[in-house]
Homo-oligomer: A and B are copies of this chain.
């Protein structure tokens, strides 16, 4: 009986735990009685077409464990979104190398690639098992309670907004923090977990699930600033007006578009700067600061959720086991009913996940449209993991004035 020949690759934006899934696949695939070679493709599907493979069979377990704890995609990644022709080239490469199991760790585009590829393999009567391992800091895969990568990015966002909220309280002003997430507000919403006392920031949260209205925005900022003397705002990079036009496009004259026609939202401070200018110009507040959290959200070394690490690893392991049972599909993470948080892993069809986008359910968004609900906080809290750093305030024991 010929041995299994396994290929693993990573697609889309890196995360803090995508290498956990990689190592989960590699170690599990090396276990079985029938285990053959385990290849890794550099830079996702691009590396398959280019036959740019590395042999992971001889990678030591010690080094693999170190790689697992390393952020970003150790094999490199790609933004390529293969069409039928591209997938035929992938298949030709897989066939040439006798690869019969392909695990692709990525978002909904990666899942869709596997859908096309598995159809082509079936037509060509080539015995290929394709299993998609979910990852995305955007948390926007359907049929998943959440996706690996999101909890760690959410932990970073919560830590960032806890810090800047304390900072802006110390030297009062208005602060705008722009968070990743083109269509789904889950990551921006994580800023709410920075709030422990009623007056803590962020005080306003703008999600792409709601239309952004500049007048309402200025009214909200004015109200908070008037009440507290400072205001911390979390804004999704994907906020858009009532007709769906991204605010980033409206504010910025010349925007960069990627291969899919998406405008560049990350890697620029333009949206934050323009919102800061809008506040400064319209409300006459002198100290207005904007930060764009940028690439640190997904790659910062030293901020990771242990729950996320375990689940990302588990998703990789499960993918190999599902393939061993002869199944194609996408691994999904569900939450078991019950008081204690517990995840379970189910395989669904590739077409069910591929190319679809999940956004924040209404139950997670406050009626004000500028905050999240307790239901969202309860949803996110267990995902952030253990050993969360805490913070505290001094008591207020005001001394009676003498001179005044």
Identify the A interface with B (CB < 8 A).
Answer: 10, 13-14, 39-40, 43, 50-56, 58-59, 63, 66-67, 69-79, 92-93, 96-97, 155, 158-160, 162-164, 166-171, 175, 194, 266-270, 272-273, 276, 288-296, 298-303, 388-399, 401-404
Contact = CB atoms under 8 A, between A and B. Distances in A.
Given A267-B276, A301-B389, 14 more contacts: A14-B166, A52-B398, A53-B399, A54-B394, A56-B397, A67-B392, A69-B392, A70-B392, A78-B171, A93-B403, A97-B402, A267-B289, A268-B273, A268-B276
A4 B63 CA distance: 59
The 4 A-B pairs at the shortest CB distance, nearest first, are namely A269-B269, A267-B289, A291-B294, A163-B299
B302 A159 contact: yes
B392 A77 contact: no
Contacts of A288: 267
Contact of A73 (B10, B40, B92, B170): B170
Given A97-B402, A273-B269, A397-B55, A164 B296 contact: yes
B289 A291 contact: no
User: Majority SS of interface residues in chain A?
Assistant: loop
A279 to B, nearest CB: 12
Contacts of A56: 394, 397
Contacts of A73: 170
B289 A266 contact: yes
A97 B399 contact: yes
B292 A391 contact: no
A53 B400 CA distance: 8
Given A170-B76, A268-B276, A289-B267, A59 B394 contact: yes
Contacts of A395: 54, 58-59, 63
Contact of A162 (B266, B293, B301, B394): B301
Contact of A163 (B171, B268, B301, B404): B301
A167 B97 contact: no
Nearest to A98: B402
Contacts of A55: 397-399
B290 A267 contact: yes
Contacts of A266: 289
A218 B300 CA distance: 27
A153 to B, nearest CB: 11
A291 B390 CA distance: 27
Contact of A67 (B63, B96, B175, B394): B394
A295 B301 contact: no
B267 A66 contact: no
Nearest to A97: B402
Given A63-B395, A67-B393, A71-B391, A300 B160 contact: yes
Centre residue among A63, A267, A393 by max chain B CB count within 10 A: A267
Contacts of A289: 266-268, 294-295
Contacts of A391: 66, 69-71, 301
Contacts of A296: 160, 163-164, 291, 293, 296
Given A397-B54, A399-B39, A401-B51, A389 B69 contact: yes
A185 to B, nearest CB: 20
Contacts of A397: 54-56, 58-59
Contacts of A39: 399
A40 B391 CA distance: 19
B51 A302 contact: no
A183 to B, nearest CB: 20
Contacts of A273: 268-270, 273
Given A159-B302, A397-B58, A170 B389 contact: no
